[in-house]
Amino acid sequence: QVQLVESGGGLVQAGGSLRLSCAASGHSFSYYAMGWFRQAPGKEREFVAVISWNSGDTYYADSVKGRFTISRDNAKNTVYLQMNSLEPEDTAVYYCAARTYYSNSFSRADGIDYWGKGTLVTVSS
Q: pLDDT (tens digit, 9 = 90+) per residue, 49-80? A: 999 999 889 999 999 999 999 999 999 999 99
pLDDT band at 2 (very low <50, low <70, confident <90, very high): confident
**Predicted local distance difference test score (pLDDT) of residue 16:** 98
* Burial class, 29, CB count within 10 angstroms (exposed 0-12 / middle 13-18 / buried 19+): buried
pLDDT the model gives residue 70? 98
Neighbour count for residue 50 (Cβ, 10 Å): 25
Pick left, alpha or beta for residue 88 (phi over 0 → left; psi -120 to 50 → alpha; otherwise beta): alpha
For residue 101, the 8-state DSSP code is S
pLDDT at 104 over 90: no
Phi-psi region of 96 (alpha: psi -120 to 50; beta: other; left: phi over 0): beta
d(CA 19, CA 44): 23
Res 47 pLDDT > 90 = yes
Span 93-110, average pLDDT: 92
What's the pLDDT tens digit per position in 11-45?
A: 999 999 999 999 999 778 888 999 999 999 999 99
Name which of 118, 113, 89, 84 is nearest 100 in CA terms.
113
Which of 43-52, 56-65, 98-107, 109-118 shows the lowest mean pLDDT across its residues? 98-107
- DSSP state string for 35-77: EEEEE-TTS--EEEEEE-TTS--EEE-TTTTTTEEEEEETTTT
Give the up-direction half-sphere exposure of residue 24: CA atoms within 13 A in the CB hemisphere.
29
Q: Is the pLDDT of residue 112 over 80?
A: yes
Across the range 95-99, mean pLDDT stands at 96
